[in-house]
Structure 1
Amino acid sequence: MTVLRHRVVVDGDACPVKTEIARTVRSCGATALLVSSHAHVLVPEPSVEVVTVDASDQAADLYIANVLTKQDILVTGDYGLAALGLAKGAAVLTPRGKQIRESDIEGLLEQRHFSARLRRGGTRTKGPKAFTNEDRDRFQQKLTTLLRGLQEIPDL
């Protein structure tokens, strides 16, 4: 059975696709909830609600974990938060347009842990690739597909 999704919940502090989210939810008749700390000023607009939480380390993640439902699409690049979203039954999409599934999360969390151990040990690790217009387009296409009711979407 397909779960219809009408709300996009966004880990907004470092999200590079806020404009695309706003445009897409309006075109699909959905809404978005952008959650960020006081350090980031986000402006509400039609179909986009903004919630500002305190600047403590995990405040935005905890807020999102408490309001997320299985009808939501969670947009985050944080694999810990993605795991919580999956546990709640939400669809999870990264800002680069990759849908994270249950079958992916364990490996992603292990890789995150391994990289953190290397960094704590003094090893330099590469950061993410530069964000491109292709990433932006892929994200918008996949978000549109999810909002139109397809729970699982193929990777392009």
Structure 2
Amino acid sequence: MSIYVDADACPVKAEVERVGTRHKVQMFVVSNGGIRPSQNPLVQTIVVPDGPDVADMWIADRAGPGDVVITGDIPLAARCVENGAQVLKHNGEPLTQANIGNVLATRDLMADMRAADPFRQGGGRAFSKADRSRFLDALERSLRKAAQS
């Protein structure tokens, strides 16, 4: 069992490390660079070469049954779900076989809507304390579930 974190722009890296350490789980924090490596022996900082989706491919090639993936990248989430991994968004929302199709379709629809309105400003709401709390609870449940598999 491992935790894979799509670390670029991830607001919950510290929370993942805290919960993962408590469960004594190996963690891989994957990015294109620019993040401070952890001194925690359970955390491996993986810096991949620059390029589109290189970090995503690194994670998707390794994550599988019994693993937990933390990402806001929906195509990466879909690949990891297909490989049997448990996937959580940063706000604690689980992405599963049951909902990943709808989430992908919504993502594509929203991309089309944004492309059709070049003057649209802003986007989603800010990351909140409630999101962080939901994430911590969801990660705890996912690790317990993975340990039982």
Q: Within 5 A, what are the aligned runs for 1:94-105?
A: 94-105=89-100
Match of 1:32, SS state, is: strand
Report if the CA contact (8 A) 2:3-2:26 is conserved: yes
Distance in structure 2 (CA, Å) of the matches to 1:73 and 1:128: 25
Q: Which residue of 2 aligns with 1:145?
A: 141
Match of 1:102, SS state, is: coil
Q: Which runs of 4+ in 1 moved over 6 A?
A: none
Q: Which residue of 2 aligns with 1:132?
A: 128
Match of 1:103, SS state, is: coil
Specify which of 53, 68, 75 is matched with residue 73 of structure 1: 68
Deviation at 1:71, TM superposition (A): 1.6
Percent identity at matched positions?
32
Tell me how large the CA RMSD over aligned residues is: 1.6
Distance in structure 1 (CA, Å) of the matches to 2:121 and 2:77: 22
Distance in structure 1 (CA, Å) of the matches to 2:85 and 2:122: 30
Distance in structure 1 (CA, Å) of the matches to 2:65 and 2:116: 39
- 1:31-89 CA distance string (max 9 Å, x none): 21110002x22313321111001121111011111111212101001110010001100
Match of 1:8, SS state, is: strand
Structure 1 gap ranges (5+): 1-5, 152-156
Deviation at 1:22, TM superposition (A): 0.4
Specify which of 27, 30, 37 is matched with residue 43 of structure 1: 37
Match of 1:148, SS state, is: helix
Q: How many residues align?
A: 145
Match of 2:45, SS state, is: strand
Specify which of 87, 108, 127 is matched with residue 92 of structure 1: 87
Larger RCO, structures 1/2 (Cα 8 Å, 6+ apart) = 1
Report if the CA contact (8 A) 2:66-2:146 is conserved: no
Structure 2 gap ranges (5+): none
Normalised by the length of structure 2, the TM-score is 0.90
